[in-house]
Amino acid sequence: MFVNSSSNSYRQRLFSANGTGSIVFIDPVVENYQTLAAGVFAGVEAIILDPSKDGIEQITEVLSRRKNISSVHIVSNGQAGKLFLGNAEVSSDTLDGYSEQLQSWANSLTRNADIFVYGCNVGAGEEGPQFIQDLSDLTGADIAASSDLTGSAARDKVFDYGLRNPFRFSFDPVTGLPVIGDVGWTQWEEINRGRGVNFGWPYYEGGNGVSLQQSTGYASLPEAQAFYASGQSVTAPIYARSHANGAIAIVMGDFYDNNRLIYGDVGEGNIYEATFDQNRNITGIRVFDSGLPNVVDMEKGPDGNMYAVNLGNGTIFRWVPA
């Protein structure tokens, strides 16, 4: 998974990091690095890198002597798609040279470990997301990286991208992955699933298990043509319904049980049930209820029943098994 994070301050995260199994690497070229090191939360190990040596090699050497690290924080300078660590410049172009070392980090990390990269603009621009994704692939960890000047007031995260209008989402109770209803443009309504992936918009839209390249609209833009020529892959919807078949605007609901997902179409007025198999593929779609336009939210309540909000008539109602 990759995450772009414009960090309000690395200090807040370093101060609140989980003291057990957390480690912070600070490049002393960062302004006021002594203050940052002194402010690390009690129990969090802080390592000051040697600016005259390769930073990746230094981190690898330290991690080789640690186990069960749940979070790694790296504070250094950077720019879009690049991180400067010690005397090394780390980018997608140089990662191959560090692949063995970066892959070894997994031996020291817990299964759900996070790596936070605090370097100005590292996750920004066209190069940033790819660099963070490449770094995530090699380390096997979730990555968060600054997408603006580290220390600025703004703060955001990108969990997934390539979505047009993700209106409501739920979590698969079996895999824990987000299942997203993405309201389409002129042709398709999508159900997408995954984390840290690119679902393709605005260069792809629609298709069941196969991403469909746009043939009009954004497809003619130079950025789109460059993306197609690059050969980059995108994650296809697990289900998509065409406007030609009556779809208007999807509204994601909730899982009724482990294998049944309820969702609707706010304009059409139908509520649907999607059935999942053990491999988490959708094996069937049926109309769950009908004649219900303007239903904008559906969630499973604590009593096990499915509740819904109708924006058109201002009501909240539920479905009760017969």
| Domain presence at residue 245 | yes
On the question of pLDDT at 153 being above 80, the answer is: no
Number of domains in the chain: 2
Residue 267, domain CATH: 2.120.10.30
More confident residue, 56 or 144: 56
Residues 168-214: tens digit of each pLDDT: 999 999 999 999 999 999 899 999 998 878 899 999 999 888 889 98
| Domain presence at residue 27 | yes
On the question of pLDDT at 18 being above 50, the answer is: no
Q: Are residues 261 and 202 in the same domain?
A: yes
Tokens for 58, please give them: 């230094």
Residue 20 banded pLDDT, cuts 50, 70, 90: very low
Residue 147 banded pLDDT, cuts 50, 70, 90: low
Residue 42 banded pLDDT, cuts 50, 70, 90: low
Residue 146 banded pLDDT, cuts 50, 70, 90: low
| Domain presence at residue 17 | yes
On the question of pLDDT at 106 being above 60, the answer is: yes
Residues 265-315: tens digit of each pLDDT: 999 999 999 999 999 999 999 999 999 999 999 999 999 999 999 999 999
Residue 52, domain CATH: 3.40.50
| Domain presence at residue 152 | no
Average pLDDT on 71-92 reads 89
Residues 219-261: tens digit of each pLDDT: 888 888 988 888 888 999 999 999 999 999 999 999 999 999 9
Nearest by Cα to 194 from 208, 177, 211: 177
On the question of pLDDT at 156 being above 50, the answer is: no
> Which range marks the domain in which residue 235 is found?
166-319
Give the Cα separation of 89 and 60 in Å (integer): 16
pLDDT at 264: 97
| Domain presence at residue 157 | no
Q: Are residues 104 and 171 in the same domain?
A: no
Per the prediction, the chain carries an average pLDDT of 86
pLDDT at 3: 40
Q: Are residues 188 and 241 in the same domain?
A: yes
Window from 31-35, 56-60, 154-158, 292-296 with minimum mean pLDDT: 154-158
